[in-house]
């Protein structure tokens, strides 16, 4: 598989455009564990212990292997066991909520008025609440939309 990435704005937001070569298919005899299939492995939000991470963008970088089927996720970073997403204990930061799957790109201050295409695949993660946007500040990842211009002006100073 090879990809190139379109970057939108100054915030790190990448949209992958990818092609898969026929040679990158499942090897004969490769068996995946229960609740998984052969496919493109997730690069983030791939296990229960990663769901509380604040990561507005999950780029698609394809390494082939056994991937948990939709609605399932690895129990932990070191586990090869796929468990139902509902088994994970997710505690999103202030002004955020958990979405098990969304194809809508997250709203960021830099792209608040942009019309963006759907993401190529969904991943479970914490999203900003309605009326809030992602920021680069890990201590305060979501701010009211009205504060975006203040934050951008402060970044220019």
More confident residue, 153 or 5: 153
Residues 6+ apart with CB under 8 A from 63: 40, 41
Q: Which residues pair with 4 in a beta bridge?
A: 17
pLDDT of residue 101: 83
Going by pLDDT thresholds of 50, 70 and 90, the confidence category of residue 106 is confident
- Read off the pLDDT of each residue in 106-135 and give the average, rounded to a whole number: 84
User: For a pLDDT cut of 90, what percent of the chain falls above it?
Assistant: 23
How many C-beta atoms lie closer than 10 Å to residue 88's C-beta? 20
pLDDT of residue 73: 92
Going by pLDDT thresholds of 50, 70 and 90, the confidence category of residue 18 is very low
Going by pLDDT thresholds of 50, 70 and 90, the confidence category of residue 60 is low
Going by pLDDT thresholds of 50, 70 and 90, the confidence category of residue 62 is confident
Classified as helix, coil or strand, 7 is strand
pLDDT of residue 7: 39
Stated length of the chain: 157
Going by pLDDT thresholds of 50, 70 and 90, the confidence category of residue 53 is confident
Going by pLDDT thresholds of 50, 70 and 90, the confidence category of residue 58 is low
């Amino acid at each position: 598989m090879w990809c190139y990435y379109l970057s939108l704005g100054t915030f790190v937001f990448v949209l992958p455009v990818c092609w898969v070569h026929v040679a990158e298919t499942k090897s004969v005899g490769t068996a995946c564990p229960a609740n998984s299939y052969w496919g493109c492995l997730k690069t983030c939000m791939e296990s229960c212990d990663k769901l509380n991470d604040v990561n507005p963008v999950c780029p698609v970088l394809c390494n082939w292997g056994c991937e948990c089927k939709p609605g399932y996720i690895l129990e932990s970073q070191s586990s090869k066991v796929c468990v139902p997403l509902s088994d994970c204990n997710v505690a999103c930061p202030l002004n955020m909520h958990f979405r098990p799957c969304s194809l809508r790109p997250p709203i960021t201050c830099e792209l608040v008025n942009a019309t963006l295409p759907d993401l190529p695949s969904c991943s479970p993660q914490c999203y900003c609440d309605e009326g809030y946007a992602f920021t680069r500040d890990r201590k305060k990842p979501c701010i009211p939309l009205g504060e975006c211009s203040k934050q951008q002006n402060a970044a220019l100073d």
